[in-house]
């Protein structure tokens, strides 16, 4: 330990003791969280990737002469329309329907007025509407989860809404579903192919003005038709939906597992992965496992359900996970550094199956030496006792005919989520 280490530690400790606690640490957190959430929703709504929640805005057209003429308007692209009896007014919102009195609007959303509450599986969910301090209309969806927690999602809405639609994912036992909320006196109908409407409000579990449809497959042409009491008819495209994608991300490598039997459990790796990158439905696939100088290690990929890409991760028996960036598609080589002792780190180099020999050079100018492990249990995996201070060491991968495929710096191969770019 050098003198500056001690002095720096002392300086930081002394400075920190000058900091008195906040008198009310909880004050302002919920309002700040709400602002953050709205910003996120606003950003998300600008993205084509948003398919979970969509709000449809329709241009109403009074039926003329009983001909039933309607105007169809795609979601989110309508011009402002004059308000009429059926439009949603946050000051005097539509009557609450469903499980009235059992709404789960969070205390943080005291200004929310519930529109519809229902039981879905083990969840009670409430759809509510309210006005921000800047008079912008917003919609909140609150729901309890199995552990009793309350989540809240909000999104800003345009004015003069006549129908709200959501396509929501299901759970383990229930399919996804389309939820439509309109005025209580409105008739709600649904057409999976855009024609042949069937009434979905005021039937089965659906109260007046509420439409509920199970969703089990994508229906790109489906539409919702709302007929209000005065004859005003609104047709909107139902929001896009497809079954939740729990398949494996495309960048998960199909490489054969190498090394010894996996000693560190998938669950341990996933728990750390969840902590580093919160999500649900975590998976880990090991590419190589081994033991070196008493350190058990595993190196592979982890992802959550619905993720488009898996991350490179490394984990060892000290209990620390290294979260790398999204794994490139079918790379020639992967590498991870494990902190083993103060003297040397362990560099694990994993070439694509079928590659030839691999070499390592401890500096930018040093010659390469072969590092493919002679240990039969590690099958073409390179293990290097690496100088912790090495900054410009390199790895070289050869084809089977011994031509060089790739020469790359270890720092680039082992970069994390933040220092690759």
Partner 1 sequence: MQPAFSDYVAARSAALLRTAYLLTGNRADAEDLLQTTLAKTYLAWDRIRDRDALDGYVRRTMVNTQTSFWRRKKPESLYDTPPDRPGRDAQADSDLHDALWSALAKLGRKQRAVLVLRYYEDLSETETAALLGISVGTVKSTTSRALAVLRQDSSLRDDPRTALPLGAPR
- The distance of closest approach from Cβ of residue 319 to partner 1 in the complex, given in angstroms and rounded to an integer, is 9
Tokens of 308: 């488009």
Q: Are 82 and 162 spatial neighbours (Cβ–Cβ below 8 Å)?
A: no
Dist CA 86 CA 265 (whole Å) = 57
Among the candidate windows 131-139, 221-229, 387-395, 399-407, which touches partner 1 by CB under 8 A?
A: 387-395
- The distance of closest approach from Cβ of residue 119 to partner 1 in the complex, given in angstroms and rounded to an integer, is 19
Q: Are 236 and 54 spatial neighbours (Cβ–Cβ below 8 Å)?
A: no
Residue 317, φ and ψ in degrees, nearest 5: -70, -5
Among the candidate windows 4-12, 69-77, 353-361, 367-375, which touches partner 1 by CB under 8 A?
A: 4-12
Residues 130-149, interacting with partner 1 (CB under 8 A):
145, 147, 149
- Secondary structure of residue 31 in the 3-state scheme: helix
- The distance of closest approach from Cβ of residue 300 to partner 1 in the complex, given in angstroms and rounded to an integer, is 16
Instruction: Figure out which of the listed residues 28, 68, 175, 400 binds partner 1, where binding follows CB under 8 A.
Output: 28
Q: Are 354 and 331 spatial neighbours (Cβ–Cβ below 8 Å)?
A: no
Among the candidate windows 26-34, 69-77, 89-97, 128-136, which touches partner 1 by CB under 8 A?
A: 26-34
Q: Which is nearer to partner 1, 97 or 386 (CB)?
A: 386
Among the candidate windows 109-117, 215-223, 333-341, 358-366, which touches partner 1 by CB under 8 A?
A: 333-341
CB burial of 110-122 (b: ≥16 within 10 Å; e: otherwise) equals eebbbbbbbeeee
Instruction: Work out whether 37 is an interface residue with partner 1 (CB under 8 A).
Output: yes
Q: Are 238 and 58 spatial neighbours (Cβ–Cβ below 8 Å)?
A: no
Distance of CA 185 to the CA centre of its chain: 37
Instruction: Figure out which of the listed residues 318, 341, 369, 407 binds partner 1, where binding follows CB under 8 A.
Output: 318
Beta-carbon neighbour count of residue 144 at 10 Å? 16
Q: Which is nearer to partner 1, 213 or 321 (CB)?
A: 321
Instruction: Work out whether 212 is an interface residue with partner 1 (CB under 8 A).
Output: no
Q: Are 165 and 179 spatial neighbours (Cβ–Cβ below 8 Å)?
A: yes
- The distance of closest approach from Cβ of residue 279 to partner 1 in the complex, given in angstroms and rounded to an integer, is 6
Among the candidate windows 8-16, 70-78, 197-205, 208-216, which touches partner 1 by CB under 8 A?
A: 8-16
Instruction: Work out whether 16 is an interface residue with partner 1 (CB under 8 A).
Output: yes
Instruction: Work out whether 310 is an interface residue with partner 1 (CB under 8 A).
Output: no
Dist CA 418 CA 249 (whole Å) = 21
Instruction: Work out whether 385 is an interface residue with partner 1 (CB under 8 A).
Output: no
Tokens of 84: 């009429």
Instruction: Work out whether 339 is an interface residue with partner 1 (CB under 8 A).
Output: yes
Instruction: Work out whether 36 is an interface residue with partner 1 (CB under 8 A).
Output: yes
Which conformational region is residue 402 in: left (phi greater than 0), alpha (psi within -120 to 50 degrees), or beta?
Answer: left
Nearest to 212 by CA among 274, 119, 95: 119
Instruction: Figure out which of the listed residues 203, 229, 391, 404 binds partner 1, where binding follows CB under 8 A.
Output: 391
Instruction: Work out whether 12 is an interface residue with partner 1 (CB under 8 A).
Output: yes
Instruction: Work out whether 305 is an interface residue with partner 1 (CB under 8 A).
Output: no
Residues recorded for the chain:
421
Among the candidate windows 55-63, 285-293, 337-345, 375-383, which touches partner 1 by CB under 8 A?
A: 337-345
Rg (alpha carbons) of the chain, rounded to whole number: 29
Instruction: Work out whether 349 is an interface residue with partner 1 (CB under 8 A).
Output: no
Instruction: Work out whether 39 is an interface residue with partner 1 (CB under 8 A).
Output: no
Q: Are 281 and 169 spatial neighbours (Cβ–Cβ below 8 Å)?
A: no
E strand spans, 132-254: 137-144, 150-157, 163-168, 176-182, 187-191, 198-199, 210-215, 223-227, 233-237
The angle subtended at Cα 152 by Cα 151 and Cα 158, nearest 5°, is 165
Instruction: Work out whether 30 is an interface residue with partner 1 (CB under 8 A).
Output: yes
Instruction: Figure out which of the listed residues 47, 67, 107, 247 binds partner 1, where binding follows CB under 8 A.
Output: 107
Among the candidate windows 74-82, 225-233, 275-283, 359-367, which touches partner 1 by CB under 8 A?
A: 275-283
Instruction: Work out whether 119 is an interface residue with partner 1 (CB under 8 A).
Output: no
Nearest to 208 by CA among 229, 236, 182: 182
Q: Which is nearer to partner 1, 40 or 72 (CB)?
A: 40
Binding site for partner 1 (CB under 8 A): 2-5, 7-19, 21-22, 25-26, 28-30, 32-33, 35-37, 107-108, 145, 147, 149-151, 271-272, 274-276, 278-280, 318, 320-323, 337-339, 345, 388-391, 410-411, 414-419
């Amino acid at each position: 330990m050098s003198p500056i280490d001690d002095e720096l530690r002392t300086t930081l400790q002394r400075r920190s003791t000058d900091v008195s606690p906040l008198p009310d640490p909880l004050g302002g957190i919920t309002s700040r969280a709400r602002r953050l959430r709205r910003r996120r929703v606003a950003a998300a709504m600008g993205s084509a990737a948003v398919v979970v929640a969509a709000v449809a805005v329709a241009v109403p057209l009074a039926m003329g002469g009983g001909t039933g003429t309607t105007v169809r308007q795609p979601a989110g692209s309508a011009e402002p329309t004059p308000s009429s009896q059926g439009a949603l007014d946050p000051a005097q919102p539509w009557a609450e329907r469903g499980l009235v009195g059992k709404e789960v609007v969070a205390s943080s959303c005291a200004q929310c007025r519930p529109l519809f509450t229902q039981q879905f599986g083990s969840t009670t969910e409430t759809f509510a509407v309210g006005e921000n301090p800047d008079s912008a209309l917003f919609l909140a969806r609150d729901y309890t989860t199995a552990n009793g927690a309350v989540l809240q999602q909000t999104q800003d809405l345009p004015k003069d809404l006549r129908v709200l639609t959501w396509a929501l994912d299901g759970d383990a036992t229930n399919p996804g579903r389309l939820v439509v909320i309109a005025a209580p006196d409105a008739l709600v109908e649904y057409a999976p192919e855009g024609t042949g409407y069937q009434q979905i409000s005021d039937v089965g579990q659906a109260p007046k003005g509420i439409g509920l449809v199970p969703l089990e497959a994508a229906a790109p042409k489906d539409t919702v038709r709302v007929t209000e009491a005065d004859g005003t008819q609104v047709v909107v495209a139902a929001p896009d939906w497809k079954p939740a994608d729990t398949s494996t991300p495309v960048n998960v490598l199909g490489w054969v597992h190498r090394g010894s039997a996996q000693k560190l459990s998938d669950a341990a790796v996933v728990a750390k992965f969840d902590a580093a990158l919160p999500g649900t439905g975590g998976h880990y696939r090991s590419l190589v496992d081994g033991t070196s100088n008493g350190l058990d290690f595993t190196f592979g990929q982890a992802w959550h359900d619905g993720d488009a890409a898996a991350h490179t991760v490394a984990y060892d028996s000290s209990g620390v996970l290294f979260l790398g960036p999204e794994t490139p598609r079918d790379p020639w080589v992967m590498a991870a550094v494990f902190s083993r002792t103060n003297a040397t780190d362990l560099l694990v180099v994993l070439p694509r199956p079928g590659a030839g020999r691999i070499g390592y050079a401890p500096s930018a100018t040093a010659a390469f030496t072969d590092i493919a492990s002679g240990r039969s249990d590690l099958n073409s995996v390179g293990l290097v006792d690496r100088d912790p201070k090495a900054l410009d060491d390199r790895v070289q991968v050869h084809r089977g005919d011994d031509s060089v495929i790739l020469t790359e710096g270890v720092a680039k191969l082992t970069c994390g989520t933040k220092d690759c770019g």
